[in-house]
Each structure stands twice: as C-alpha cells, then as structure tokens.
C-alpha cells in the first residue's frame, strides 16, 4: 500500500444531507460565515462573503425562515451529489413548500453546496 492508496479509499465523514441540515440551522440563525464555509469552490466563484451575508439577511429580516425540510431523493456519483430537497418556508406567518434540486461537490472530505438555497 502506498500513501496514495489511503486517499483513493477515503470515505467522507459527512453525508450530503448533513450539509443541507447544517445550512438550515445556519440560515435560521443568520450565521452567514458558517454558510459561506458550506459553499464549494465553484459557488465561491459566484458569491463572496458579503453576498452571502446580504442575501441571507435580506430574507430573514423580511420574515423568511425555513420551517422544515426533508431530502426526498439522493444520487451520489463520485465526488458529486444531487439531492432533491423539499423546504417549507415560513413567510410572514404562512407556510410555502418548494422543491429544490441541490448539487453538492465533495471537497477535502466534506460535501459542499454548489449554490445557495433561497426562497
């Protein structure tokens, strides 16, 4: 066994759904720095820390929160994952459920979001 064999057999510690779970907690807590850390390199090319902060604060300060979520479908191929996620949003006292196709990339042993999930 070479030092490279260890990495080729490496199993990620997290599951793609765990990243979505964290995102929901951070979103509802307005914890924008941890949300930024959940983003993949690809997503960070699109959003900087200020973008993430401004988007999340604009939504939450106008009363848009995640009430509940569930992953209804998951497909993992190598270092890419595709999840179907149903999110029920709490919007000004009303619930609105939307379905999202969420792409994730495995980077440094952790699943990272390829985009923000927003209302």
Q: Give CA–CA dist 4/69, Å, rounded.
A: 38
Domain of 70? 14-113
- Residue 3 domain-assigned? no
Instruction: Flag whether 66 is in a domain.
Output: yes
Residue 29 lies in a domain: yes
CATH of the domain at 107: 3.10.450.100
| pLDDT of the residue at 81 | 98
Q: How many domains does the chain have?
A: 1
* Ordered per-residue pLDDT tens for the chain, 119 residues: 334 344 445 455 679 999 999 999 999 999 999 999 999 999 999 999 999 999 999 999 999 999 999 999 999 999 999 999 999 999 999 999 999 999 999 999 999 999 999 99
pTM: 0.88
The radius of gyration of the chain's CA atoms, rounded to the nearest angstrom, is: 15
Structural domain contains residue 2:
no
Handedness of CA 105, 17, 87, 90 (dihedral sign): negative
Contact assessment for residue 40 and residue 105, using Cβ atoms and an 8 Å cutoff = yes
The reply to whether 4 falls in a domain is no
Angle formed at CA 62 by CA 61 and CA 64, multiple of 5 degrees: 95
Is 6 inside a domain boundary? no
The answer as to whether 70 is a domain residue is yes
Residue 7 lies in a domain: no
């Amino acid at each position: 066994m070479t030092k490279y064999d260890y990495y080729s057999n490496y199993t990620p510690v997290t599951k793609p759904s765990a990243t979505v779970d964290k995102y929901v907690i951070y979103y509802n807590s307005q914890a924008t720095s941890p949300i930024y850390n959940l983003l993949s390199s690809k997503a960070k090319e699109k959003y900087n820390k200020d973008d993430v902060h401004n988007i999340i604060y604009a939504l939450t300060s106008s009363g848009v929160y995640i009430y509940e979520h569930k992953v209804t479908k998951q497909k993992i191929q190598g270092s890419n994952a595709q999840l179907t996620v149903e999110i029920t949003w709490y919007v000004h006292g009303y619930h609105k459920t939307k379905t999202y196709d969420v792409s994730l990339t495995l980077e440094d042993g952790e699943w990272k979001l390829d985009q923000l999930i927003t209302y």
